[in-house]
Copies of this chain bind each other. A is one copy, B any other.
Amino acid sequence: MCTSLLYTDLSGSVYAGRTLELPVELPYLAAFLPSGTQLSSKAGNHAPLTYESRYDIFGVVVPNGSVEDLKVVEGLNEAGLNFSLLAFADTHGPDDTQADDVPVLSAIDLGAWMLAQFSTVAEVREALEKQTVLVDPLAALGGVVPPFHYTVHDRSGASIVIEFFDGERHIFDNPLGVMTNSPRFDWHLTNLNNYTHLSNVDHSSATLLGQNFIQPDSGIATVTLPGSDTAVDRFVRAVYYAHFSEKADGPEASLRQLGHVMNKFDRPKGASVYSSAKASALTESATRLTGQQPAQKPEFITEYTSWITLIDLERSTVMLRTYNSLGYASFDLAALKAGATGPKVVPLEAFDQGSPDADKVLLAL
C-alpha cells in the first residue's frame, strides 16, 4: 500500500521517497502550516493535548471532519524532519490506563505533533518516552482504529519506525530507512536473511555440462529480486534499489535518480485487483467521505499509486506527483515561509498537471 525509502547521495545528503496506494482517493490536501500554529490532539475522553508549532511544516494531509483538524499523511518540517504514515493492518494499540484529565496524543496526530516540535529523530524518540500515545478510533474511519504505522527520518539519515501491535507500542531503530506495510518491522528485517544472495552484478555467462551459455541482455542480476507488489516483496526491492542505485552528485541529479527508483514502485490501475467485498474499513470510509461511492458497486477494485513524494531533507523541498500527472510539482519550505502569512491548504488535484510553480499555487489561495 505504501513504499518508503531513503536514498543517500555522493556527499551523504539524505532524500526520502514514498508512494501511497489505496483503491480510492482520499480528500488529500497540500498544506503549509507556519511555525506558531496552534495544534491539538484528542483521544477518547482525555483532555486534549495542545501545543504550538515551532517549525514550518509542509505536507500532504487529510481533513478529519474539518480543515481545522488535519491529519498528516506525509510531512516535512523546515528542520528536515520527515514523517510518513503508512498502512499497517496488524495495528493493535495498548489499553488506555490513564485518567481522563491526562492529555494524551492520538496516534493519528503523531505527524503533526512531531513535525511541529522536533528537528531530529533523537528528539522525537526522547519526547515519545514521556508521551502517552493511544490508537484512538477515528470518526473519519467510521469508528475504526487507524491502521497505520509511522516512519520518521531526519537529515542525518537517522530513522525510526513506530508500530502499535500486540497491545504494545514499539519503536524500532530503522538502519535501512525502508518501510512498507505488514507484517511488523522486525519480521521484515529477519526476512532479509533470505536475500543474502542479492547482488547487482550480472553473471552473464556460464558453463553447464560443458556447454557455454551467454545471457545477451543486461539485468540478469535482478533475477533474484522478489517480483510481487506485496509489502514483503516491496520491502526487499526497496532495500535493493536504495542500496545499489547509483549515488548521484547534487540535489537535482539525486532527486531524478530517486525518481527513477520510485518509478519501480509506481502501481498502475488494474495491475492487480481484488473483490470489492474485501475493501478495508479505510477504503469504505473514504468512499463515503469523498462521495466516490458508485451507484453500483464494482466487482473488483484496484490499488494504485495515488501520489509519490521525493523529499530533499537537507534543503527542505518536496516534489509531488499525483496519479493524474506525468510530472512533478515542487514545493520549497523556505519559499512558502517567505510568502505565506498563515496556514495554506489546497486540494491535491490542483497539481495534477505537475507544476514548477507549485509554491505560487499554494500561496495564491
Contacts and interface: CB of A to CB of B under 8 A. Distances in A.
Interface string A227-247: 111111100000111111111
Q: How many monomers of this chain does the complex have?
A: 4
A11 to B, nearest CB: 17
B268 A257 contact: yes
Contacts of A1: 217-218
Interface stretch (A70-78, A95-103, A259-267, A357-365): A259-267
Interface in A171-223: 175-178, 181-183, 187, 190-206, 208-211, 213-223
Contacts of A13: none
Given A218-B272, A239-B209, A194 B266 contact: no
A127 interface: no
Interface string A324-347: 111110000000000000000000
A295 interface: no
A232 B305 contact: no
B327 A326 contact: yes
A354 interface: yes
B326 A274 contact: no
A335 to B, nearest CB: 18
A187 to B, nearest CB: 6
Closest 3 CB pairs of A and B: A219-B229, A327-B327, A246-B270
A56 interface: no
B196 A203 contact: yes
Given A200-B271, A326-B319, A219 B230 contact: yes
Contacts of A177: 209
Interface of A: 1, 21, 23, 89-90, 175-178, 181-183, 187, 190-206, 208-211, 213-233, 239-247, 253, 255-257, 259-261, 263-264, 266-274, 278, 300, 302-305, 319, 321, 323-328, 354
A4 to B, nearest CB: 14
Contacts of A183: 190, 193, 216
B200 A220 contact: no
Contacts of A175: 209-211
B197 A221 contact: yes
B243 A269 contact: no
Contact of A219 (B205, B220, B272, B354): B272
**Most chain-B CB neighbours within 10 Å: which of A181, A205, A230, A325?**
A230
Contacts of A190: 183, 187
B302 A246 contact: yes
